[in-house]
Amino acid sequence: MAIECSGRPRGEGGTDGSGMPDAPPSLPAVPLLALACGSSVATVYFAQPLLGTLGERFAFGPALLGAVVAITQAGYAAGLLLLVPLGDLIDRRRLVTGQLGLLALALLAAGLAPGGAALLAALAVVGLLAVVAQTMVATAAALAPPARRGRAVGTVTGGIVTGILLARAVAGVLADLAGWRAVYLVSAGVTAVLALLLRRALPAAVRRTGEREASYGRLVASTVALFVRHPALRLRGALALLVFAAFGTLWSGMAQPLSGPPWSLSPTAIGAFGLAGAAGAVAAGAAGRWNDRGLARRTTGAGLALLLLSWLPIGLAGRSLWALAAGAVLLDFAVQAVHVTSQTVIHAVRPEAGSRIIGGYMVFYSAGSGIGALGSSLAHAAGGWPLVTALGAAFGLAALLLWATVLRTAPDPAPAPSAG
């Protein structure tokens, strides 16, 4: 198949069959991609420590608070299906910077929202455009040599994890200092700056002629076809749904018990709990290295077992904040270890369709996060924190049983050979 280059960057050669240059990205590109991924995906999680504040400001009832997070996740799921496939069709540099610019405008609209309906609409658009983070993950994976792909994905995913953690802490601090609107207005400015920096740092795309001539409709349809055709994609997607349902149950459900008696914490204090999960960023980098060594199955199994065990200390949140923090550390470490492993595994199925595969996989992620957010609100309204804990543990147990019965016998793509 013919290959066309649109402005080959200095020092780069041919391609590795993924439609991107075979040389690794320039030195500042990977850290900048990680920073931009973290900043983008953080916008989906800003509302979590602010749920109490937003509920009072816009008269959202307790059962409706989960909808604030769920509607953002719904927009994210739509973007994964409709926008991420464009990374296999057009110049990724143009796509990434364009989406970041539009995301900045959506964040501005959220920060200036005059009422609850306007806020929810703006947050849905924020979720839709925040999927640019997944396009950047696919870009990093395609730019890296096969033997270093796991580490590249781990580095960028580590940025996403850090962004999720800092989203809660920063949102809490800004809300206490300048009001909840400042959270979205400041993020709009940061996003615009990152769009400009990435336009200079990212290399020009190398596209296959066949991909360029393919229609957008065919690319979207092919995302579904890829998951129908490859069992590894379906299984890893189902696992992502359950793992992130557990993740969403904790982080979306945490604000309600912590903002009320006996703790009555401020948004800053609630957001600071996100820092307790900093182990997730460590897990992201480690999981990438373990995958490059051929340990994807062991990493998956160990991560799922740890996910289930994490709910034991989390269940003690009503008695000890230290127990809740310890459980959050274990849960975030487990979730990100499984998540990075799965992304690296599925990218190896069809590297030339990396954007579509990661986008399709992340639909399961987004659906799981939304289910967890809604489920935690309903569970807390019905039975308080004990029922929330039971729901999260049930998701963790289901994920472990799925791996034990299906994933261990499913063929994962072989890891790339190590260089040297």
Say whether 175 sits in a helix, a strand or coil: helix
Spatial distance between the Cα atoms of 155 and 217, rounded to a whole number of angstroms: 32
Q: Which of 139, 53, 156, 153 is nearest to 93 (CA)?
A: 139
Specify the pLDDT at position 11: 36
Residue 208 DSSP one-character state: E
Spatial distance between the Cα atoms of 252 and 70, rounded to a whole number of angstroms: 9
- The tokens 């709910």 sit on which residue? 311
Are 118 and 388 a contacting pair, CB within 8 Å? no
Specify the pLDDT at position 279: 60
Task: HSE, CB side, 13 Å, CA atoms: give it for residue 24.
Answer: 14
Specify the pLDDT at position 400: 94
Say whether 16 sits in a helix, a strand or coil: coil
What residue ranges of the chain have pLDDT lower than 50? Answer: 1-27, 206-213, 414-420
Specify the pLDDT at position 23: 43
Rg (alpha carbons) of the chain, rounded to whole number = 20
Specify the pLDDT at position 135: 84
Length of the chain in residues, anyone? Answer: 420
Domains of the chain: 27-203+213-409 (1.20.1250.20)
pLDDT digits (tens, 9 = 90+) for 287-300: 667 766 767 788 88
Specify the pLDDT at position 181: 93
